[in-house]
Structure 1
């Protein structure tokens, strides 16, 4: 199995706390957050990781090199920001598998990847999104699911409870490689605008979830990964 990790963001909301490295390399209990993600992926059967890098990419490349704990590491380098869709599309050119996992480099979500792949194939899905039930949140948009298929994406707003997009995707490679744009938002141009054209399914998981994109959760990660 192969995975792309999106690690090219600027991390502006953490800039006053972590300014010398890209957000996925923010130190959590003495090691980069990205290392926890890659360790988890390797433990779940991922044998090749393509890291989409941009801002301060040298810190990531120097740390992981071309191989990490037996896992092949390749870098997809952005000279100018390509946004999420462009970054994924460029990185997919480095992948051999027809279905590839996409991971956000600032989010840790404990998902059974093998079971997610089984569901993806069973549903003949173009895109499967790992989702999670959550209470009392406002940072995440919610999804509406009918018979495991995603029918609507709702905007971020304060919610007492709902199902969120957990930021792990399994994508059929061809749906992006045939998309004409090179610089675009995956969430807007693919997930939302093509919702009625593509088979987009949810894979529900109740696994541990944390997004270190804001200082409060970054501080929580220091305790959770102790």
Structure 2
């Protein structure tokens, strides 16, 4: 099994932590970086190879990860000379397997990556998206108006959404239509597939998931890590 980890972003929302470190290398707990946790998880689940898509401060990621041997992985790299979006870096990659995992390099989750990829293969899907239920609370009374009159009122409503976790199963053929070097976001890929009537598969998940995008998220990850370490790393730590 092969995984591609997107690790090229600047981590602007996580500053000042990312002023001198790329976001995947910010430390979690006393021992690990986010990226090391992810690599350990992939290795323990049977992945043999990983491609790291790097950009901002990518030389630090290369220095830290090396060839991946210490985790039992074969790690290669692709460099973004300019931002290519969530999917764009994949377009220039050679020799990708028919089906592979794609994930962001800044998430903590106990999702089974191998289970998602196996489900993707079994479904014969072109794109499988790991999704998570997220509640959005509105701390105000919400009004609906028409022709100058209030027609509906809801006090502090709560909305439920399924959001993308930043982990996908992808089939190589999906990328064939796009030229290498094209900036391409995950949102554009999904909209293109929907326009074709090729609906991506929803891989619903209700375990632990945290997207470390802001300082509050990072502080939460560190506060929770000692409790979560057995679920995240099992016997790999």
Q: TM-score, normalised by structure 1?
A: 0.83
Unaligned runs of 5+ in 2: 139-156, 227-237
Alpha-carbon distance in structure 2 between the residues aligned to 1:133 and 1:106: 19
Alpha-carbon distance in structure 2 between the residues aligned to 1:104 and 1:17: 18
1:44 aligned partner: 45
Q: Note if 1:65 corresponds to 2:70.
A: no
Quote the offset at 1:216 in angstroms.
0.6
Alpha-carbon distance in structure 2 between the residues aligned to 1:114 and 1:137: 33
2:34 aligned partner: 33
Secondary structure, counterpart of 2:213 in structure 1: coil
CA distances 1:109-160 after superposition (whole Å, capped 9, x unpaired):
322233323322332210000111222379xxxxxxxxxxxxxxxxxxx963
Q: Note if 1:20 corresponds to 2:20.
A: yes
Mapped contact 2:22–2:57 kept (Cα < 8 A): yes
Quote the offset at 1:193 in angstroms.
2.8
Range that drifts further, 78-87 or 178-187: 178-187
Quote the offset at 1:169 in angstroms.
0.3
Bigger share in helix: 2
Secondary structure, counterpart of 1:194 in structure 2: helix
1:219 aligned partner: 219
Aligned residue pairs total: 205
Quote the offset at 1:194 in angstroms.
2.4
Mapped contact 1:111–1:207 kept (Cα < 8 A): yes
Quote the offset at 1:108 in angstroms.
2.0
Mapped contact 1:124–1:199 kept (Cα < 8 A): no
1:91-106 equivalence runs, <5 A: 91=93, 93-95=94-96, 97-106=97-106
Alpha-carbon distance in structure 1 between the residues aligned to 2:10 and 2:4: 18
1:11 aligned partner: 11
Q: Note the aligned Cα RMSD (angstroms).
A: 2.0
Quote the offset at 1:161 in angstroms.
2.0
* Structure 1 residues 85 and 117, CA gap change in structure 2 (3 angstroms): closer
Deviation above 6 Å: which 4+ runs of structure 1? none
* Structure 1 residues 159 and 184, CA gap change in structure 2 (3 angstroms): farther
Quote the offset at 1:189 in angstroms.
2.1
1:155 aligned partner: none
1:165 aligned partner: 164
In terms of Rg, which structure is larger? 2
Unaligned runs of 5+ in 1: 139-157
